[in-house]
């Protein structure tokens, strides 16, 4: 079964194949109406279950549109409708859904839910996000970088902020795609060292530098994410703001990076918190290309999952 659970669990050749396929998919749609189906319909007569325990805008819309453009149909299910793990077990849910649908995408909180779903499903399962990783986002980010700057192998990527699930998938990608990675953030919000060590074991440099200006020197790509989740309590918001304020990506910080360094943010953003409007709307920002590329990258992932 070809599940797409994490970037490190997929071979380098297959990852490069997905990026190439995503580029071809995007190029083939150039100038076509947004709602028009693809000429190639690899999901024709396929039903895809989109499960959202955790709310979403980009993941929901991009997967839904992608399935429809490739000729399939979607069934969107919320956690409150399914009560995953609260009534029926995740394993039994996976077994039942596999009798109805051809592909499952799940966006959930606990990684264990994803892994149990994949273990017991008899159809492919895609990780739409967990608290530990966000591989679909990083596939879109790789696609975005390469369409603007060419191969990402050998480049320097700098992450400013919280060592969260998005950073974890960047660390996976560093090892698989061969780029160097620097984390710059406060020590209490360091990433799991297992992610760092795994990438280093594959021969790339992964560093931690508390000085953001020094960290971004020579960067080809600067990335950040929200300091707090959109639904975090006010007390958590204030504490994280105090920890992360020195790591804001602003115009002054970007001047330390390479002149043509790109800026990315996976969105949604708290503008003028983790990054200033000047950076987000500036000439080096590709945040909306990045958001669009979720659609194309995920279409390539779904095609890969359903290709024997």
Grade residue 229 by pLDDT with cuts at 50, 70 and 90.
confident
Q: Residues 43, 71: contact at Cβ < 8 Å? A: yes
Q: Give the Cα separation of 139 and 294 in Å (integer).
A: 8
Q: How confident is the model at residue 85 (pLDDT cuts 50, 70, 90)?
A: low
Residue 82 has pLDDT above 80, yes or no: no
Tens of pLDDT, residue by residue over 170-206, are 999 999 999 999 999 999 999 999 999 999 999 999 9
DSSP-derived secondary structure for 202-219: TT--EEE-S-HHHHHTT-
204 prior amide bond cis, ω within 30: no
pLDDT of 231: 59
What is the arithmetic mean of pLDDT over 68-97? 88
* Residue 31: pLDDT band with limits 50, 70, 90: confident
Q: What is the DSSP letter of 271?
A: B
pLDDT band at 84 (very low <50, low <70, confident <90, very high): confident
Quote the crossing angle between the two packed helices 193-200 and 165-177, to the nearest 10°: 10
- Mean pLDDT of all residues in 91-95: 95
pLDDT digits (tens, 9 = 90+) for 56-66: 999 999 999 99
Q: What's residue 230's pLDDT?
A: 57
Whole-Å CA distances, 255 to 76, 142, 157, 212, 252:
44, 23, 15, 12, 5
Give yes or no for a contact between 160 and 224, defined as CB atoms under 8 angstroms apart.
yes
Whether 123 shows a pLDDT value over 60: the answer reads: yes
* Per-residue pLDDT at 166: 98
Higher pLDDT, 308 or 130: 130
A 10 A CB-CB count for 243 gives 17
pLDDT of residue 81: 78
Instruction: State pLDDT tens for residues 37-52.
Output: 999 999 999 999 999 9
The more confidently predicted of residues 74 and 230 is 74
Would you say 40 and 302 are in contact if contact means Cβ atoms under 8 Å apart?
no
Kindly list the catalytic residues. Answer: 107, 134, 137, 225, 266, 294
pLDDT in tens, 132-180: 999 999 999 999 999 999 999 999 999 999 999 999 999 999 999 999 9
E strand segments, the chain: 47-52, 73-78, 103-107, 125-129, 156-160, 180-184, 206-208, 221-224, 262-265
Give the mean pLDDT of the chain. 95
pLDDT(91) > 90: yes
Are the C-beta atoms of 225 and 163 separated by less than 8 Å? no
Q: Rounded distance, CA 175 to CA 202, Å? A: 5
CA contacts within 13 A on the Cβ side of 251? 5
pLDDT digits (tens, 9 = 90+) for 236-261: 778 899 999 999 999 999 999 999 99
């Amino acid at each position: 079964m070809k599940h797409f659970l994490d970037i490190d669990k997929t071979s380098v050749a297959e990852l490069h194949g997905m990026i190439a396929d995503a580029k071809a998919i995007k190029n083939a749609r150039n100038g076509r109406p947004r709602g028009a189906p693809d000429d190639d319909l690899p999901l024709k007569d396929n039903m895809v279950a989109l499960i959202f325990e955790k709310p979403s805008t980009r993941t929901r819309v991009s997967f839904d549109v992608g399935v429809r453009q490739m000729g399939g149909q979607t069934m969107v299910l919320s956690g409150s409708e399914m009560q995953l793990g609260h009534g029926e077990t995740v394993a039994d849910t996976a077994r039942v859904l596999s009798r109805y649908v051809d592909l499952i995408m799940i966006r959930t909180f606990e990684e264990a839910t994803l892994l149990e779903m994949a273990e017991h499903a008899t159809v492919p399962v895609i990780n739409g996000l967990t608290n530990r990783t966000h591989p679909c986002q990083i596939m879109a980010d790789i696609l975005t970088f390469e369409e603007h700057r060419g191969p990402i192998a050998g480049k320097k990527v700098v992450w400013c902020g919280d060592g969260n699930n998005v950073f974890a998938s960047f660390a996976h990608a560093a090892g698989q795609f061969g780029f160097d990675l620097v984390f710059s953030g406060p020590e209490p919000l360091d990433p799991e060292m297992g992610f760092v060590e795994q990438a280093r074991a594959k021969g790339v440099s992964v560093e931690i530098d508390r000085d953001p200006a020094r960290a971004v020197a020579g960067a080809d790509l600067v990335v950040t994410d929200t300091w707090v989740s959109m639904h975090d309590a006010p007390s958590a918001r204030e504490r994280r703001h105090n920890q992360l304020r020195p790591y804001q990506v602003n115009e002054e910080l970007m001047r330390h990076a390479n002149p043509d360094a790109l800026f990315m943010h996976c969105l949604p953003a708290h503008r003028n918190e983790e990054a200033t409007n000047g950076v987000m709307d500036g000439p080096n920002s590709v945040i909306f290309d990045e958001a669009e590329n979720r659609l194309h990258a995920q279409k390539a992932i779904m095609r890969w999952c359903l290709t024997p």
